[in-house]
Structure 1
C-alpha cells in the first residue's frame, strides 16, 4: 500500500470589529468558509474605533449568526478575539489566508495598503479579497448604528439577535 502524504488543512482568518456584525459580514463569512477547511473569525478589540458593544458581546453576535452558515457550508468556523497585529493573530490561529471584504473603491485603497504591510510582516500569509455581493455592498456597521440611533429599521442589515443587542446598547447610552 502506498502511503499518501497528509493533506494540509487550509485555515483562513476573517477579521473585523463587527460593531455590529452585518449581513454583509455574514455574506463574506459564508463565502470564505466555502474556500477553506477552517475559518477563524477574529473580533478585534480595536478601541480606536470606539465600539458601541464590548468585544464579548460582538463575539456573541457573530456566534449567534453562525449555525445556519455552518449548516450550509459544512465548515469548521470558530470565533476568537484578538488584541494584536492582524498577522500575529493569524499566525496564532494557524491560518495562512486573510479574507477581506471589499464594498467600494475606497475600501480597496485602504485594503491594498494593509495587504502590502501584512505581506511585509509575514510573507507566508496571503490576503484574499472577496467583493461584496450587490445586495450587501452598501451596508456598513457605521451606517447601521447611525440608522438605529435615529430609530430607523435595521432588520434588513443585521440578524434579529444582533438588532436586539444593538438597540439595547443604544438605549443604555441614551438613558
Structure 2
C-alpha cells in the first residue's frame, strides 16, 4: 500500500511541475529603437557626460561636501516618533481593536489580508515623502530639450528645401523665356545638396 501511495504522490508532483518548465523562456530583448537613459549623480564641478543620439545622460548635481557622506535619507532615524505626522498617528488608531478580514490582525478569519495593503500604502506614502532626487522630471526636461533641437533642425532643412525649389522654379522660368521651343535634352536639372 505504501508503494502505491508513493507512486501516486510522485506522479502528482511530476504533473504539477510540468507547466513550470513550459513557461520558462528567454527574457524579451530590448527594442532597438528604445531610448537608453543613463542617470548619474555628479558632485561639485565634476563634468557631466554629454548625451548622444542613442543615449540620454541625466546628471543630478550635488555639492562637493556630499561626495563622501551618507545619503540624506539614511542620516537620521526614520522611526523617530517626533517626525511622524499627526494624521498618520490618527490613522494608526483606526486599526486598534479591528479584527477579521482586511484588519491585519492575528485574530479572526482572514485577519492577515489587510497586512499587504497596509504595507503597500506605507510604501507609497514613503515614496511620496522621499526628499531624494527626482530623475523623472530631469528625464522629461532632457527629452524636451532633445525634441526642441530636432524641431529646429527640421525647420532649417525645410527652409533650405523651400529656397531650392524657389531657385529651381526661377531657373526653369528663365530658361523657358530665353529660348522658347529649343530645349536641350542633355541638360539635367540640378539636384539638391
TM-score (norm 1): 0.19
Structure with the larger strand share = 1
Bigger Rg, which one: 2
Higher RCO structure (Cα 8 Å, ≥6 apart): 1
Structure with the larger helix share = 2
TM-score (norm 2): 0.18
